[in-house]
Every structure is written in C-alpha cells, then in structure tokens.
Structure 1
C-alpha cells in the first residue's frame, strides 16, 4: 500500500517513485527482456535493404582482418617466450571490437540475431529473409576478407617481417584436420552468440565483453569462418594452399561448426529458457 511522507508518495517498501526507478535501473535485465531486444534487432536486420547488408558485410570482412594483423604485430615484437601467446592473442580481439561495436554485419552474429524471430513465429517469408540475409552477409564477408588478404599480399605497404608473422599465424590456424576444425568451430559459434546475448546488458562494458570472449576464442584456438578466411586467403595468395583444399579443409567444416554452435545450440537454448514466459 502506498503512503505519503512529507508530501512525497511512497510504495509499500517505503521507496519514492524516483527511488523505485533507480532500483530498476540497477537491476540486470531479465532473460525475456534480453530475448526481446535481440529478437527486435533480428526483425530489423531481416528487413534491411540488400545493398545495406552487402556494404556492411564487406566492411566487416575488411575490419576483421585487423585481428590477424594485430596478432602478427604482437607476435613479431614480443620475445619468443612461453607467455607470448597470452599477450599476442589479445590482438585477435581488435577486429571483432571494430566489427561488433561498429555495428557491421558479421555472419556469425547472424546465426542468432535473425534466428530468434524465426523461432518465435515460423513462416516461409521469414525463413526466406533469413536465408537472404545469410547469403548476402556471408558472401560480403568473404569478399572483404579476400580484399584484406589481397591488399597485404600485393601492395608493398606491409613490413616483410610482419607479413612473415601473418603467414606463420595463418599456417598454425589451418594446421588442423577436418573434424578438429569442425569441433573448434562449434565453440566459436557459441561464444560469438554469447556476445550477442550479453551486449544488451553490458551497457558501458561492451568493449570488455567483446574483448574477453574473443580473447578466449583465440586462446582456445577455436575456428571462426570470417576471421579464419583472412588467414586462409593469405595462404592461397602465397601459393601455400589451393582453393579446393581451402574450401574442403576450412570453409565447409568451420561454416557448419559456427552455424551449429550459434544456431542449433545457443539460439535454441536462449529461446528455450524464455519460451514459456513470452507465450504467457
């Protein structure tokens, strides 16, 4: 029951309206609220014009290349010591910070964002829009990563020692068999989807969320279809990897793993935990 204190109305807990609002602002967002934020964002994405998705996807492909470049820079300038990977892998987060905080279209983010509207109200129109979104963004991301690799391979602007370090990082990243690529890609897909889920609650800590999870992704040597494509294209342009081998050994297993990790696992779990609440 509300009561008045010195002319100010208070609720049954003795709090004024302003104090109640302050409490609400301090509370973490409930899962259904986070779900609705991500779902509405997905609704907006599937309605965006194809040309907007295309250019945003190319920008993301170019930006993600700075993950490889930053890691190579740290690797080159740090001494060859057991702790070097702990620091060098921090560079892997740079491209993801540019892409996610810059609101660019990254394929692995789209394994959850547009999927939630599809889960909530499945119809063929939404399915077609999701397929269109995936196709445009994936193709644009690949073109962007190829452009980054081509620029660093052909334009005499990259320091030879840094280029050597980039090739070293790329060789190590692709020195895995098909099943290992696939299994590690599931973890990467799950982590990127987790970032998407946490961003609405992060407020001023978004950069820390992106950095932490992508740093873990790098340390665990999980495979990411877009970031890894920069490495793969770099090896192709260096004549160390053929296109058919790249497609079979890298693109197919990592694409499947990222989709399973982001959509089949995280998106289903995220939808499952709020399904009853949003239907009531």
Structure 2
C-alpha cells in the first residue's frame, strides 16, 4: 500500500471556503473607503473614461441589431451586446456611478459621520457628473459620424428609441431593479474574481433582457437621440434623471442597507475598527 506523501501540505480549509457575508461586507466596505479617499481629479478622469467606455454596450447592441433580421427574438440576441461596456469598465477598474452606490454607502452606514457623508456625496457628484459628460461625448461622436458608420449609427438610434417608450415614472420604477442588480454585482465580485467575466456578463445581461433602466448606459442613448434631433433637451433630462434616482434607490437605498443589515448584528469590534 502506497503511503501518502506527507511533504505535500494539505490545503487550508478556510482557503476552500467562499467568503461569508461579513467577509464580503468588509471587502466592499474597504474598497469604498479607498474610493472616498481618492483625489477629485482621479475620480473625475476615471469616471469620464467610464462614461465614454460604457458606450461600447450601445455600439455592440447596434452592430447586432444591424446584422439581424427583424424577428421577435432579435432583442434577446441584441442584448448580448449590453454587457460589453460593463466588462470594459469594471474589469478596467473605472468609476461607475451605479457600482459606487453600494461601495460608498457601506462605509457611511457602518460608521456614520459628517465626514463620511460629505465624502460620499462628493464621490457620487463627481463620478455621476463625469460619467454623464463621458456619455455625452460618446453620444455626440456617434451622432456626428465620428464613431461608426451610417448603418451602425442608424441601428444604435433604433435601439436607443426604446427608452422613449417609458414615462418618467416608468423609467424610475424600471431603474430600481437595475440599481439593485448592479449593487449585487459589486457585492458578488470579491467572491468571484476568477469568474468575474461570467458574473458581470450574466447579471448585466439580465438587466438588458429585463428592460431595466441603467442611468449611465441609458444616458448614452439619451444623448445620442438628442444630438440626432430625435428628442429635445427637456425630454432628455426626463429620460436620464428618473433613471439616476431609481438606480440610487435600488443600489444605495435598498441593497446597500440590506447588505449591511444582514451582518450588523454579527460585526465584532475588529470589523468596526
């Protein structure tokens, strides 16, 4: 009978376990604390790049839309392009407003203070403003023909027109689950780094096929319609603002508070310090 090789160390059981809720809370919270400490200039340029890069979702959807026949199942295939922008932005470690709703919120609810509140508001204002500026630049580039050809531009406009079918209230309601799911994405990634591509792709694909409203991707569509003379500025604001508020409620107002509540009673002094 062969003897086992005692020189080979046995794996640590803890290394084989998935992180529990407290570990995830700590990982996301520490990431949020790092974001709160970043200089405004770093946040701004990272978020600006994210706003421009997220347009790759609309580009991919437009390309698929142009290549497929007008059938009942076309939207299911077109939605496969939606995760592309999120993969670029999240794996590229760029600042995305909807992802920061939970990362910035956890430090605030864990140790409430005036400093944390001011830093959280600073982060959201800078990141959201830069995201919207980036999406406006991308939308203008598409509308003026600087990005993509005429056929692709027409397809992207057709894809974007779907957001005009919703009222402001419907957009707000549709944005709540989108904010909730993107917060789930940020919460899940520390436990799935090796599967990040699949996790990001799966969750954002569900956002797409569910027709949920994402404020940053939706703003690319809204700006494109504005710069293509399909909408007016007031209507554009009416398309973007309700999505922002709904995403904020779903991400920071619901998921972040629930994520904190599930571990609050178990957090020890070491976690609080």
TM-score over 0.5 for the pair: yes
Partner of 2:167: 177
Query: Any stretches of 5+ residues in structure 1 without a counterpart?
Result: 9-15
* Deviation for aligned residue 1:94: 0.3
CA contact (8 A) 2:163 2:239 kept: no
Identify which of 208, 217, 231 aligns with 1:227.
Answer: 217
CA contact (8 A) 1:173 1:221 kept: no
Partner of 1:75: 65
Partner of 1:273: 262
Whether 1:202 aligns to 2:199 is: no
1:157–1:255 CA distance, 2 compared to 1 (3 A): closer
CA contact (8 A) 1:189 1:262 kept: yes
* Deviation for aligned residue 1:20: 4.8
Whether 1:133 aligns to 2:94 is: no
Identify which of 131, 151, 155 aligns with 2:141.
Answer: 151
CA contact (8 A) 2:157 2:225 kept: yes
CA contact (8 A) 1:62 1:147 kept: yes
- Provide the secondary structure at the position in 1 that maps to 2:54: helix
CA contact (8 A) 2:95 2:127 kept: yes
Whether 1:122 aligns to 2:112 is: yes
1:7–1:203 CA distance, 2 compared to 1 (3 A): closer
Q: Deviations over 1:43-80 (max 9, x none)?
A: 00000010000000000000100101100100110122
Give the ranges of 4+ consecutive aligned residues of structure 1 lying more than 4 Å apart after TM superposition: 5-8
Partner of 2:246: 257
Partner of 1:236: 226
1:157–1:108 CA distance, 2 compared to 1 (3 A): closer
Partner of 1:11: none
Q: Deviations over 1:155-206 (max 9, x none)?
A: 4552211111101111112310111101110010001000000000002100
Query: Any stretches of 5+ residues in structure 2 without a counterpart?
Result: none
Q: Deviations over 1:209-253 (max 9, x none)?
A: 000010000000100110000000001101111112211x21221
* Deviation for aligned residue 1:7: 12
Question: Number of aligned pairs?
Answer: 267
Counterpart Cα distance in 2 of 1:157 and 1:228? 18
Counterpart Cα distance in 2 of 1:253 and 1:61? 18
- Provide the secondary structure at the position in 1 that maps to 2:166: coil
Counterpart Cα distance in 2 of 1:170 and 1:162? 12
Partner of 1:161: 151
* Deviation for aligned residue 1:108: 0.5
Counterpart Cα distance in 1 of 2:213 and 2:8? 49
CA contact (8 A) 2:145 2:153 kept: no
Partner of 1:12: none
Counterpart Cα distance in 1 of 2:205 and 2:245? 22
Residue correspondence of structure 1 range 100-119 to structure 2 within 5 A: 100-119=90-109
